[in-house]
Structures are given as structure tokens and as C-alpha cells.
Amino acid sequence: MPSFNDTATSEAPPEDVWKLLYDPVRFPDWWAGIETVDVEDEGKYTMYPDGYPDYPMAQLLDTQRDEQRVTVSCLVSDLRFQWRLEPAGHGTLITVEVEIPESEAHRLDSQREIIHTSLHRLAEVATAAR
């Protein structure tokens, strides 16, 4: 299964980053390629990609606050994103691990770019919100 990791550091404390990471309604603020989100139930939401308002993509969200970890699993393409936070001085180290099924391996490079952009936006938005 293709996979990759990426990291960034935010000047914001973990609590401020967590507020953006655990709430899917905030994903369009920082996650590249997400236009809108509709939350259905706790742990379930639908994401609509930029430019495709008629293409709903069901997602599962698992938050582990004690472990400062959020996992997003796409029910359409089976991509899995695990975000983790760690204190780093006065800021936060943000790590994301992405797993892509073999059937979606052709998307590996584009997902690297999207996630790299998103990771840095997350760090910037959290810092700006301070």
C-alpha cells in the first residue's frame, strides 16, 4: 500500500491546532481541495471537493484527544489520513501519515502536494488564530 509522511511546525500551542483538526467544519479553512463539509453524525461527514459540488465524498472521523490524534478515512476512495500533534517548544509539531490503496496509487503524487499544502495551511491558520 503506497504511503507517505509529512510534518510541519506551528507557532500555535497544540490546543489551538486541535481546534482546527478535530472539527470537519473547519477543514475548508486549511485542507486544500475541500470546498464544503456537511456533518451528519459524530464521526461522519460528507466532503465536497473544490469545483465538484455534486460529488459528495463520505468520510469517517476518529478523534483521540488524549493521544492528540485525528484519523480521517475516505469511504469513497479508501484513502486514510492520520494527523498527530506533539508539543514543540511553545508551538506544535504536526505530523500526517497518509495511506493510499493500490487502486488509487496513481494519485500518490497529487496527494503528496495536496497534503503538503494542507499541512502548512493548518500550521499557518492555527498560528494566525492566536
Over the stretch 28-73, which tens digit does the pLDDT of each residue have? 999 999 999 999 988 999 999 999 889 999 999 999 999 999 999 9
Range list of β-strands (E), 3-128: 3-10, 34-41, 44-49, 57-64, 69-74, 80-88, 91-99
Indicate if the pLDDT at residue 78 is higher than 90: yes
- In tens, the pLDDT along 88-103 reads 999 999 999 999 999 9
Look up the CATH number of the domain holding residue 38.
3.30.530.20
pLDDT interval class at 123 (50, 70, 90): very high
Distance, CA of 81 to chain centre:
6
> In this predicted structure, what is the pLDDT of residue 42?
86
Domain total for the chain?
Answer: 1
The C-alpha atoms of residue 15 and residue 100 are separated, in whole angstroms, by 29
* Domain span at 22: 3-128
Nearest to 100 by CA among 121, 115, 122, 117: 115
pLDDT in the model for residue 53: 85
| Residues with Cβ within 8 Å of residue 19, at least 6 apart in sequence | 26, 126, 129
**Taking the mean position of all CA atoms in its chain, how far away is CA 83?**
6
pLDDT higher than threshold 90 for residue 129: no
Q: Mean pLDDT, the chain, as a whole number? A: 96
Residue 22 has pLDDT above 90, yes or no: yes
